[in-house]
Structure 1
């Protein structure tokens, strides 16, 4: 079982690294800013939204990794993991919605 936990944790670490590289690529390309600008959002507002969303994504990656690591180490039972994931995901989505809504209010 210890070998399986180590393998699972290695997979989690690889997934975290992949997600972090994706966020860095999105930041480098200005992907979200370009998408928002193409929909008519002012460049300044688009840049602010992009910076906030990428920051949220980086924090979300760390939160997910921490939560999944606790499950893999056996600190959380499956039911506890699902409950904590549900709470985290709801808060994360709410946070993303607030950031976008606040930015679009300023733009209006």
Structure 2
């Protein structure tokens, strides 16, 4: 692995740590719960939804990190990476939307 790939991998690792720290902080501060409660959801529904979304965010960070690491290590070319990233992003958004829809329908 050349020096530029090592630097890129290091930056990717730092980005993962930073993103996980932001997710953890938002969870500790109950940011999502406050947002959902302000939108009119009952507290218990907001708390459940917050926990599920935070879990999905952590999973998304891990999946994104693995996908990007493969590209940085040269295990996939740029076009393959972009295609896989596009699919991953769509699946991640679908997962978060499904979680939200399930909780909202249960609350209704």
TM-score, L = length of structure 2: 0.98
Q: List runs of 5+ in structure 2 lacking aligned partners.
A: none
Tell me the equivalent position of 1:2. Answer: 2
Kindly state the Cα deviation for residue 40 of structure 1 after the two structures are TM-superposed: 1.0
TM-score, L = length of structure 1: 0.98
- Alpha-carbon distance in 2 for matches of 1:32, 1:16: 20
Tell me the equivalent position of 2:56. Answer: 56
The superposition leaves residues 4-63 of structure 1 with CA deviations (integer Å, 9 ceiling, x where unpaired) of 000000000000000000010001000000011111100000001000000000000000
In the comparison of the two structures, how many residue pairs are matched?
A: 108
The superposition leaves residues 59-103 of structure 1 with CA deviations (integer Å, 9 ceiling, x where unpaired) of 000001100000000001000000100110111010001000000
Root-mean-square deviation (CA, aligned residues, Å) is: 0.8
**Deviating runs (4+, > 2 A) in structure 1?**
none
